[in-house]
Amino acid sequence: MFNEFSQYEDDFQQWVKDGYPNAKAETLDYIRHLSDPEDDAKPRDGTLWLHQWDSFLRVIYAYEIKPDELAQPNGVLLNVVTGGGKTAIIAALIAWLRIAHDIHKFLMLCPNLIVRDRLEDDFENGKVFVDRDLIPQDAIVNKDDFALTTLGSDRPGGWANLLGANVILGNIHQFYTSTASGQSNLAAMMNGPDFALFNDEAHNSPAPEWDNTLDKMRPKVKLRVDTTATPDRADGKAPDSRMIYEYLIQDALADRLVKTPVVYQPNIETVELTYTDARTGEKRSVEEIDWAEVDRLGLNATQWVTDDKPMQQQMGIALQRLREQERRAQGRYQPILFVVAVCKFDAERAAKTLNDYFKIKTLLVTEDSSDADRRQATELGKAKRGGNPYKAVVSVLMLREGWDVPEVGVILLLRKFGSPVYGQQVIGRGLRRVRSRGVGEGEPQICSVVDHPKLEHQWLWEIFSSKVRTDVGIDDMFDEEEDLPPPPPRQVIVNTENFIEIPEPTDDDGGEFVIDIPLVTDEPRKDWWEVLEGIAYQSETVTITDQTISGVERQALTGDGWRTLESAPQDVNGGAIPVDLDDLADAIRDELLAMSERLLERAGHTTQFKGKIYSILLNHVRTKFLDGASLGLAEETHIATTWRTLPEIEKQIGGAPGLVEGMVKYGDK
């Protein structure tokens, strides 16, 4: 997604320099309230940060000066890094639209409960308006005119509640026409006054029903403002609004607005692998294998962080980092370890390991967690060390955008990221600076990320512009003053005369160069059952039962950076983590269901066939690995083998041309 404001940058800068000509008189008055008394081109201390001010002024310019070119028909988008204070920007725009444009109703949409709860905390009782001094003393409004109405849980919706509300916060799903309550909420908005729409975490927008809802609202929306830190999604789609401002990680690091990410990876010399025969349960070990040579032996990437021994060692490294962060905190706040797992089963094992073996009080948050646990996840870090607070939280996909706990000081990755968007979102959970009492604004802060080289996340660290410094001794200790790199220079747009205008997309092809390329799909296999039955799997599964770590490599991201080797963690002897067979069977069912969705997506089908594919996969597993038994009655060795073989099952079935297509078309015959 590209910045459509670039071609107007010179004109905008001149507009600011000239004192905002052609802006409404009420807008000028509000700008004066927020601006520095000595320089109305800069924000006053205590109101907006400089980048918030820049984005605020660009929205005004788009709405009042260039509405047809920028603000219509789908609004504008602000791309602001996690920790950049998008909420304060939204609040300032709400106050401006009320004071200068007499807009009385504002709708804030968000994609999930975590984002909703974060916005609710900021807007409840006008908190953000007061904290940032966003309402002039002589204004016709006060904070009570922006009373918040939140939809969801036990909160009422519908006409009676929404018609008289001023600021409404809700999940987008609460306005979907596919439900009776959504229809009622949408009808209430469409039969009331015109309103301003704020679409937070807007990268979620390109979903058909979300698009449909925004489209239905468009006739009543005076201005739509989208906000996100990751506008480009993994599927290549982006919001349909116009991006007019970018404040990226490099800019935030240059301004020292966020923590500096530092990645720690183990340097592994050798590993011990244990082979288990799926039929007999016989085990044999192969010791002293160079870790760089083991890929050919049947290991998948996540085993390097989820098998018992490596997971405990990764946790040992992460807990070293947590102790360092606690020393830096000096009792002013409680640093938090954030563990990211790939599935619920692995998350439960990770939480059990931290709680039982390392004696670290850990909160587990999955899709099965209660509202109380999810709410508690947003409160982590606020308790001091003496109050027996949680020191770690383990999650799968629950704690993403909107989960803002500044005390997150260490992130442990127990999964491989395939999506640049999700990878950046997870690292973003640790970028927000701690702003507790006694923590200086200029105090260096870092976020330690414990990663494994076999997960191959170098592409993610390159997004943060990693640099390397060599020849640092293994016993050198981390020092904020010496080791934190200087902030990178901010990127500034120059030579705007060289910009080219990108034409709007059109359906008119001019009658030339029409190339009709049909969608290529594999021919469905009528003999899909024979193909499936013919797939052969290895009779042995491989686990990592020991490994020798020579040290821990530390790499700074952004700036000059460094790379150094530290001492390895003390030997971890927690032993094998006991696994409940019922839990493992449930995990296999969950993963087969998720596998069904992924296989259908790759084959170009919708998830409406998920149940059919799941039943076929479950039968396949029973035949190949469980001796025909159900998951609830199968032997322990067979269940464990099935769990280990799931990645290979997906690879084999997904790689057979026409197999999934045949299962869809002929699976009932």
pLDDT in tens, 282-293: 777 776 677 666
> Which residue do the tokens 């469409």 mark?
190
Give yes or no for residue 496 having a pLDDT over 60: no
Are the beta carbons of 358 and 380 closer than 8 angstroms? no
- For residues 632-659, give the mean pLDDT: 89
Helices (H) and strands (E) in the chain, counts: 22, 18
Q: Over pLDDT 90: what percentage of the chain? A: 35
**pLDDT for residue 142:** 92
**Is the per-residue pLDDT at 84 higher than 60?**
yes
232-266 pLDDT per residue, tens: 765 567 788 899 999 888 788 778 888 888 888 88
Q: In which region does residue 495 sit, left (phi positive, over 0), alpha (psi from -120 to 50) or beta (all else)?
A: left
- Predicted pLDDT of residue 297: 60
Q: Which residues, 6 or more positions from 533, have their beta carbon under 8 angstroms from its beta carbon?
A: 623
Q: What angle do CA 588, 592, 596 make, to 5 degrees?
A: 170
How far apart (Å, rounded) are the C-alpha atoms in residues 411 and 396?
13
Residue 174 contacts residue 181 (beta carbons within 8 Å): yes
Lowest mean pLDDT among 274-278, 463-467, 641-645: 463-467
Is the confidence at residue 340, as pLDDT, over 80? yes
Name the token pair of 574.
Answer: 């927690």
- Phi, psi values for residue 621, rounded to 5°: -65, -45
Say if CB 585 and CB 607 are below 8 A apart: no
pLDDT confidence bin for 476, thresholds 50/70/90: very low
Q: Answer with the residue of higher pLDDT: 621 or 370.
A: 621
Residue bearing tokens 């001094």: 133
Mean pLDDT of the chain: 82
d(CA 126, CA 146): 7
**pLDDT over 90 at 414, yes or no:** yes
Look up residue 388 and give its amino acid.
N
Per-residue pLDDT, 287: 63
Name the CA radius of gyration of the chain, rounded.
27
Identify the CA nearest to 182 among candidates 213, 150, 154: 213
pLDDT of 448 over the 50 cut: yes
Write down the pLDDT at residue 291.
64
Q: What is the mean pLDDT of residues 613-630?
A: 92
Mean pLDDT value of segment 63-70: 94
Measured CA distances, 501 to 36, 55, 132, 245 (Å): 35, 22, 38, 17
So what's the pLDDT on residue 245?
94
Which whole-number Å values give the CA distances from 82 to 143, 233, 449, 626, in the listed order?
26, 16, 16, 47
Q: What is the H or E stretch that residue 247 is in?
A: strand 242-247
Q: Please say whether the beta carbons of 364 and 351 come within 8 A.
A: yes
Encoded tokens for 616: 């076929």
pLDDT at 81 over 60: yes
> What's the one-letter identity of residue 627?
D
Q: Which of 64, 76, 84 is nearest to 12 (CA)?
A: 64
User: If you ran DSSP here, which 8-state letter would residue 331 be given?
Assistant: T
Residue 471, pLDDT > 50, answer no
Task: Give the range with max mean pLDDT: 111-115, 511-515, 534-538.
Answer: 534-538
* Closest to 544 measured CA to CA, from 267, 275, 269: 275
Angle at the Cα of 569 from the Cα atoms of 567 and 572, rounded to 5 degrees: 155
DSSP state of 622: H
| pLDDT score of 401 | 59
In angstroms, the CA 178 to CA 183 distance is 7
Region of poorest pLDDT, from 194-198, 270-274, 308-312: 270-274
- Give me the pLDDT at residue 660, please: 92
Strand 195-200 relative to strand 106-110, pairing: parallel
* Tokens, residue 326: 């606690």
CA 553, CA 269: separation in Å to the nearest integer?
Answer: 13
Between 63-77, 182-196, 249-263, 569-583, the lowest mean confidence (pLDDT) is in 569-583
Of the pLDDT bands very low, low, confident and very high (cuts 50, 70, 90), residue 466 is low
Look at residues 359, 373, 347, 348 and name the one whose alpha carbon lies nearest to residue 322. Answer: 359
Domains and CATH numbers, the chain: 6-247 (3.40.50.300), 260-476+540-566 (3.40.50.300), 579-666 (no CATH)
What contacts 221, CB < 8 A, 6 or more positions away? 75, 194, 195, 196, 197
Choose between 620 and 502: higher pLDDT.
Answer: 620
User: Which pLDDT value is given to residue 518?
Assistant: 40
Mean pLDDT of 540-558: 80
Nearest to 368, CA basis, from 395, 329, 349: 395
Res 224: pLDDT: 94
| Ordered alpha helix ranges (H), 464-554 | 480-483, 528-533
Q: What is the Cα 548 distance to its own chain's centre? A: 33
Q: What is the pLDDT of residue 472?
A: 40
Measured CA distances, 613 to 186, 530, 639 (Å): 36, 16, 20
17 is written with which tokens?
A: 């320099």
Q: What is the pLDDT of residue 486?
A: 57
